[in-house]
Structure 1
């Protein structure tokens, strides 16, 4: 699927910041900060984990997830509207900024398993990537350790998914998504477990079934296991081409506040786990989420990302996407100037060290739809970090 050619880019002034150097990275950052008002139908998700409460579009051929609203009075200057000839465009103040192709309802969503489970309750299409939470439960959920940004329990409560997907179900859906909707990779994650492997073995079993049935590359995501030898066991299962082990933030004060369980695991534990994972899967095949806009010190974020890059870990930097029903549901995404400034410093360092999204074969670092960092890395514009976001209570 390709998008109609755009003409020029956005000037990010809605949040009181300067902008407008005419690049796709800045536009993506602006859309993910302010959201976009839609005047046409866009495939989207509401509630739960993942890129939720967002529309899924192709912006000048790049996959992008953006918060979407339909209210004409919504406080965003950006509008997605249909155009003559069947195309779509992003507009600001009546001026066309970029061309858009919409993602429509996947065809595999209309299928069910032999035992009657709808495919869309097993896995979801995120643009050209299939994604599933294989165990829709986490030992942190509904405790004092619950991560503030997470919505893993919401999808289950709403009936949008099932509690546990089997390897056979996931393999069946992956084949259908590949054949009917052109899926190019699969991302499998899981809630954290109290078991020594933290759920890694089961998600790896699911990955192996998907790979064997579909031939698609797979990323699996899990928390640091209590014994690093479990990584060797998971690698030997041949259930993953890449792994995501997500720290969420390198600011210890913020980590303690928004993800107490991860904080007790310890930032240094993540680094030790990443080092062994890179030895197994290779440079650029290990990634971590880094969320912006939770009150962090940006210098700590950039420093932590650089250290991760040094050992071969791809830092997938994203803006906070407040999930309805989560502990941070009332938070606001960071300004696009702030996000772009962090993106630029991290992207420049990745370029210096020879790392890019091209190293990724599956998962969030391959898809890039929830971040502008790859678009920023592929452009020369230099930006400065904006003011630190206010802390969240």
Structure 2
């Protein structure tokens, strides 16, 4: 009998965040390579079991193993099989989406993020269109999601994003979601360009931690922009990454979740892992399974109180769910 991925098992897997995998299971282009945010540079797999999906970084030192057995992929912890399912093929970054990073570099020096250290390339519109076309040709594409670092300035990044969204909406009848650092008119402009969902990341709702880990950014600017975004995009169409593991207390998380959901914003509780390029910058503690379940349950209750539903999201992280314990999809 199949062992489907339960919420409890997924929380346990997320608390570890990595896996060893039999190379024989991997196709020619097996892994998703993250190019944005704290996980940039890491190769990973997507595993699906029942209605749930998880993304795990490939690490030969992981206590988890993925092997083939009886025509399935099984996940093993210690001597126990904890889930049976299948590997999913990512289109661009994740399954079912063309999730594309426009600028793989950033002028801001957030202490948990390796992107400023990596200083990757910038995709021009031709490359973006080629990537989307290749994903569309598979017949599996459900959404286009675009994110970006800040190569020069937030204003220039938003302008590039507006241009790309307009071009893609002329060619594809698909939902387009966007994640950028906000500017004064970014929500208005991106909505007018054709984006249906927006994500501005608060990173943490602890002001002291924010000042320490995002010294170049303004938490209040992000919060104001999120509230303004709801006026344009509407309920269930505005979200924000909320990192768990930077030293915040559960009470800080509770208060932060209430602030966001009261603004009709859907928070995404993102467990963080230390990156080698940032190992000496800050102290990072990957959250335990129990904590992820507790905070995820807390978030679900707050969303329900505001009649918000993560399951209605059409793009980006809330559609994928691979990196998080997502209310209404996992819980």
Cross-structure match for 2:13: 31
Picking from 72, 81, 86, the partner of 2:67 is: 81
- 1:138 — aligned with what? 106
Q: How do 1:225-374 residues align onto structure 2 when only pairs under 5 Å count?
A: 225=183, 227=184, 229-238=185-194, 240-262=195-217, 265=218, 267-326=219-278, 331-374=284-327
TM-score w.r.t. length of structure 2: 0.87
**Do 2:98 and 2:131's aligned partners in 1 also have CA atoms closer than 8 Å?**
no
Q: 1:323 to 1:129 in 2, by over 3 A?
A: farther
CA distance in 1, matches of 2:295, 2:193: 37
- How far 1:332 sits from its partner (Å)? 4.3
1:312-362 deviation digits (Å, cap 9, x = unpaired) = 111011100333323569844222222222111112211222222222111
The 3-state SS of whatever aligns with 2:138 is helix
In our comparison, the structure showing a higher alpha carbon Rg is: 1
Distance in 2, Cα, partners of 1:103 & 1:324? 27
CA 1:156 to 1:296, structure 2 compared with 1: closer, same or farther past 3 Å?
Answer: same
Q: TM-score, normalising length from structure 1?
A: 0.74
Q: Give the superposed CA RMSD.
A: 2.6
Q: Show structure 2 runs of 5+ residues with no match.
A: none
How far apart, in 2, do the equivalents of 1:29 and 1:334 lie? 10
Mapped partners of 1:260, 1:99: distance in 2: 43
List per-residue Cα deviations over 1:31-70 (Å, max 9, x = no partner): 1212333235343345743553432221334221123323
Quote how far apart the aligned CAs of 1:277 are.
0.6
Q: C-alpha displacement at 1:204, in angstroms?
A: 2.2
Paired with 2:68 and 2:180, the residues of 1 have a C-alpha distance of 40
8 Å CA contact retained: 2:46, 2:55 = yes
Which of 184, 199, 219 is the aligned partner of 2:157?
Answer: 199
Rounded to whole Å, the distance in 1 between the matches of 2:69 and 2:282 is 34
Query: Would the alpha carbon gap of residues 80 and 218 (structure 1) be closer, same or farther in structure 2, given more than 3 Å must change?
Result: same
Q: CA deviation at 1:104?
A: 4.2
Aligned counterparts, 1:209-228, within 5 A = 209-225=167-183, 227=184
C-alpha change, 1:337 and 1:214, in structure 2 (3 Å) is same
Partner of 2:55: 65
Residue number in structure 1 paired with 2:148: 190
> In structure 1, how many angstroms separate the alpha carbons of the residues matched to 2:118 and 2:67?
30
Q: Match of 1:150?
A: 113
Q: List alignment gaps of at least 5 residues for structure 1.
A: 10-23, 107-123, 141-145, 158-162, 380-393
Which aligned segments of 4 or more residues in structure 1 are displaced greater than 6 angstroms? none
- Cα distance, 1:250 vs. partner? 0.2
CA pair 323-207 structure 1, distance change in 2 beyond 3 A: farther
